[in-house]
Each structure stands twice: as C-alpha cells, then as structure tokens.
C-alpha cells in the first residue's frame, strides 16, 4: 500500500491514468499495525504525526525528511540517495505539495500491487446520520480546505443560501460521492477546481449536467473579495473568452473610483519590480513555462534586464524563498503597492500583483497565460469586468445580474433565492 497526503498539484502535469486510478482516500485505521515510511517535511508532517499520536495510530517505522521536498524537481536526487526506502510496502507522503508528481515518478519503482491513498487530514467531518432535510434542497461545496476558505470568504454567501431554505454540504474532493446524492443536488460549488484531486468529481457532475460554479478569491483587494465563474478560474474563466463588449460607462466609472483609492503621490524610481509566486500555485503550473520553480524565473529575469535594478519579492507562503539566489537583483520585503508605485516596470508570470500594477498605471509584462495577456489591448475593460464580477466578503445580499452571468444558477432559481432571503 502507498499512502499520499495533500491535493495541490495541477492537472496540467502529465499524470497517467494508472496513477490516478490508484489514488484513494483512506481512514486512520489503514495505518494501524502497519510498517511504513513517512516522506516529507514542514508543518503538515508535524501536524500528521501529532494527529497519529493523539488518535493512537501507528507511527512510521522511518522518517525521511528532504530539505527540498517541497520542490518536486529535486525529488529524483532524493530518491537516488535513499533507494532502500522503496523496500517498504507502505509509504506515506506527508508533504502538501506536488504529491501527484511524486506518485507519478515513484510508480515505475514500486510493486504492481502498490496503491496510493490520501489520509484526508483536513477533510470535512461527515455526519454519521443521513443528511438532514432542508426546506428546498442542498448545495454541495467541494474544497480540500473548506474550513479556511468558508471562514475567510464565503460565510455570508452561504448564510444567504441557508436563509433561502437550502443546506450546504461540505466535501473534500477525494471523499466518496454517491451518484444519487449528487444528481439530487441543487448545484455544486467548487473552490478553484484546477487540481487533479477534483478531476473525478467534476467529471461526474458534468456527466449529470449539474450546474457547477467555480469560486476563487478576488483581486481588489484579494483578501476582501471572491468571484464566481461558470467555466473555471484564471485563464480557464469566462472572462478569458469574453469580448467584454458589455462593459459600459457605469462599469468604467467603478474602475476609476477604485483607482482613486490606489493612487499614491510617489514617483517611480526606475527599477524593475518582479513579484514571485508560490511554485506549486496551479496558476503557475497550468499556465506558464516556469513549473519547475521560481529560481528559473529569477535567472530568466536577471538575464533579460542586464542593465536595470531589479527588485524581487517572494510570495509570503513560499517555503523555498530563503533558498533563492540572485546574481544581480535583490530580494526585498515591503508593501506590494509601494513597490509597484516605485517601479518603472512590473514583470511577473501571472501574479495578482500584475493586476494591481495595471490598476495603478504601471507598465507590465507577464510570462504566463492570464487575462491580462488575453485582453492586453483593452485592459481598462478587463479590470472593469473583474471589479463588476467580484463580491465583497462583507456582502449579505447578491446581485441577480452578477449571479446570472457568472454562477451556474439559472434565472428562476436565483429569483427564488433572492425572494426567500428577503
């Protein structure tokens, strides 16, 4: 048996069907009286070990911690240095990043009967009793980190649905979904949905012709907004294919109003500002050529601007940020907006910082597929559309027009929500 934890790898990777078919959720009992190896590092391993101790699960016979385990490009070297660990029948991968990539690389080295499991440490706790009845029906919300994202972004939206007589059921994408249960759902909400862990349940929902609404955090500012989409997120979203002809003076007026809030008196200082991203961000993996890490992007930028001052800012959630090497540029901290204002150019992959730079009025360059590249000749219309479609986390009511355009819910259903919520 082969056990894997976490669900953060992009479907853009070349993952074989054989590997995904051997990828299952598992219960703690699978680890009882089992001789296994734990591979990984960081906070997730510490949390997993504590969880096993508290719940009297079997601790690993051995622990392999790799300094660069979060960077999957170094995995081959780690494996070559520790070939003996492949003698274990059971291996638990305790890293929250790149686990699908690790599975694919390990597959040829494992026994034919090896199977991959996810312990689902952060999965929602399911009721042992049948789902309670609601006035009208239920929505299914699918998210590996539902507790985090609901509390940060979706509390008011879900309370709006509940006030309308609907129940919200939270699931991890790898939990088991009964066909009848899904078919009877009023709709499905998916947070991001662009990683392989979602593939099976999204395919099933689409085969049942269930309305799917993809949800992600917004942009202006990101921490205070979220958006919905019928097709997907980022370069897979509706706005990527939209001609934006519907944008009028009202939407542009909202854009100009927001621009005033971002206005700063500081003149530019003539440097190139480069916002880095989390290496395993699905937006980087799926929609750029820098899926092997930020160091490659740093090297590329330094070669591209040999005569300019370059300021890099690592993403605060990037565990590899202390390992990056600069030959000419400088890695800095500081307020992102201040760094944008002081720059003559902002060059990124497809970071949300690029959108803020356009809002402020700085020239940008992007090396990944994104809405900015798609709509580079009508950036004001794009920003106006993004502002229009995002909801504030503080909103307690939701515009019918926005829900109609960007959610998977139909007109009659949305009207019933509004009536009942009021």
pLDDT for residue 80: 58
pLDDT at 207: 95
Burial class of 105 by CB neighbour count within 10 A (0 to 12, 13 to 18, 19+): middle
Please tell me the predicted confidence (pLDDT) of residue 318: 84
Residue 67: how many CB atoms within 10 A of its CB? 11
3-state helix, strand, coil in the chain (%, to 5): 40, 15, 40
**pLDDT profile of the chain (422 residues), mean per 10:** 30 42 63 71 71 78 55 49 64 58 65 66 53 73 86 94 90 83 94 85 94 94 95 94 96 96 79 92 87 91 96 89 91 93 96 95 94 96 96 92 90 74 60
Q: Which CATH class is domain 2-118?
A: alpha beta
CATH fold of 264-378 reads Rossmann fold (3.40.50)
pLDDT for residue 69: 43
Q: What is the pLDDT, as a whole number, of residue 67?
A: 46
Give the whole-angstrom CA distance, residue 51 versus residue 34: 16
Tokens matching residue 157: 């939206």
In the prediction, which pLDDT does 86 show?
A: 65
> What is the pTM for the complete model shown?
0.78
> What class, spelled out in words, does domain 137-218+390-421 have in CATH?
alpha beta
Beta bridge partners of 365: 347
The single-letter DSSP state of residue 378 is -
Where do the CATH 3.40.50 domains begin and end in the chain? 2-118, 137-218+390-421, 264-378
């Amino acid at each position: 048996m082969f056990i894997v934890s976490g669900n953060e790898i992009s479907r853009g990777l070349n993952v074989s069907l054989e590997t995904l078919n051997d990828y299952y959720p598992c219960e703690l009992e699978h680890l009882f009286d089992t001789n296994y190896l734990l591979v990984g590092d960081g906070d997730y391993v510490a949390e997993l070990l504590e969880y096993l101790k508290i719940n009297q699960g079997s601790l690993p016979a051995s622990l392999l911690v790799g300094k660069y385990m979060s960077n999957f490009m170094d995995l081959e070297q780690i494996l070559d240095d520790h070939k003996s660990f492949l003698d274990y029948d059971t291996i638990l991968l305790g890293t929250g990043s790149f686990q699908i990539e690790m599975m694919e690389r390990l597959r040829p080295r494992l026994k034919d009967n090896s199977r991959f499991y996810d312990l689902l440490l952060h999965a929602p706790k399911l009721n042992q009793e049948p789902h309670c009845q609601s006035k009208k029906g239920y929505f299914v919300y699918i998210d590996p980190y539902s507790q985090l994202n609901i509390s940060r972004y979706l509390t008011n939206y879900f309370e709006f649905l509940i006030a309308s007589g609907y129940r919200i059921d939270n699931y991890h994408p790898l939990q088991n979904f009964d066909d009848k249960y899904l078919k009877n759902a009023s709709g499905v909400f998916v947070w991001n949905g662009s990683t392989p862990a979602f593939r099976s349940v999204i395919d099933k929902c689409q085969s049942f012709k269930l309305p799917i609404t993809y949800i992600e955090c917004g942009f202006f500012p990101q921490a205070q907004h979220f958006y919905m989409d019928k097709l997907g997120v980022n370069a897979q979203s509706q706005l990527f294919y939209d001609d934006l002809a519907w944008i009028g003076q009202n939407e542009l007026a909202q854009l100009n109003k927001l621009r005033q809030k971002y206005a700063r008196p500081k003149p530019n200082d003539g440097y190139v500002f480069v916002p880095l991203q989390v290496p395993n961000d699905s937006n980087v993996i799926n929609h750029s050529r820098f899926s092997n890490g930020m160091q490659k992007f740093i090297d590329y930028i330094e070669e591209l601007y040999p005569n300019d001052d370059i300021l890099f800012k690592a993403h605060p959630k990037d565990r590899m940020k202390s390992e990056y090497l600069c030959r000419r540029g400088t890695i800095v901290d500081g307020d992102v907006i201040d760094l944008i204002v002081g720059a003559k150019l902002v060059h990124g992959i497809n970071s949300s910082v690029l959108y803020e730079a356009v809002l402020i009025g700085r020239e940008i360059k992007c090396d990944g597929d994104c809405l900015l590249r798609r709509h580079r000749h009508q950036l004001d219309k794009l920003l106006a559309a993004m502002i229009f479609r995002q909801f504030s986390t503080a909103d307690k009511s939701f515009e019918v027009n926005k829900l109609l355009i960007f959610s998977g819910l139909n007109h009659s259903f949305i009207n019933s929500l509004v009536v009942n919520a009021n």
